[in-house]
Amino acid sequence: MSMKRIGTMVVALVLASGVLGAWFSAIGSGAERTTSHPVLVPLGWKTYTYGNARISVPNDWAVVRNNNCPVRSAPGTLELGSAMGLLPPCPGGVRDANVVTLGSLPRGGLHTSSQCARIRVNGLAMLVGPCGSSNAGGIVIYWVPALGVQAVGMGTNSENVTGPGTGTVVGRVLHTLRR
């Protein structure tokens, strides 16, 4: 066997073991699923901070603080914090809009439930809700105890944002959550 062929086989084995190692570590023990690699913020996205958390959104998204209504003139809205007090309803409601709301982790509640899906994103353990619901109603909640935040995502009527995936722009935004 030639040295060139042996070298090619060694390279192929190293690559295969790396791929298999990554695959097995992604599977884990089954109790927790790794759903993303190190943070990859798409080119042109902007990063914002809320408490100990950072999150990135497309540069054409609106960003509001302490306001719970989407900006209809933008393709999506990042809401940082929750509005305090009694608010009038949003014009046009909150449905049919790409919205991610980052707020404080509520005390008690479902984010401690053993029925919630457990995932790890960007090195952070998260729980995904709604927990135990077969009809999530187009909403997804990521509870991140290490950062003391919850992120609520809603999508347009044509997008199903439920679950821990990145198949929608809302899912991709949620997967930029990090320290």
Pairing of strands 62-65, 77-80: parallel
Token pair of 102, please? 């980052």
Report residue 128 as tokens. Answer: 């995904």
Q: Is 154 in a helix, a strand, or coil?
A: strand
Report CA-CA distances (Å) from 34 to 24, 82, 171: 10, 29, 14
N residues, the chain: 179
Alpha-carbon distance 11 to 93, whole Å? 56
Write the DSSP symbol of residue 178. Answer: B
- Per-residue model confidence as pLDDT tens for the chain (179 residues): 544 444 434 333 333 333 333 323 333 333 444 454 567 899 999 999 999 999 999 999 999 998 888 898 999 999 999 776 666 777 766 678 899 999 998 876 655 567 788 999 999 999 998 876 655 568 899 999 999 999 999 998 878 888 888 889 999 999 999 99
Distance of alpha carbon 34 from alpha carbon 53, whole angstroms: 19
Question: Can you give the pTM of this predicted structure?
Answer: 0.74
- From the list 131, 176, 60, the residue with the least C-alpha distance to 139 is 131
Largest alpha-carbon pair distance within the chain? 78
Neighbouring CB atoms inside 10 A of 163's CB total 15
Q: CA end-to-end span of the chain, whole Å? A: 51
Secondary structure letter of residue 9 according to DSSP:
H
Residue pair 99/84 in contact by the 8 Å Cβ criterion: no
- Specify whether the CB–CB gap between 165 and 173 falls below 8 A: no
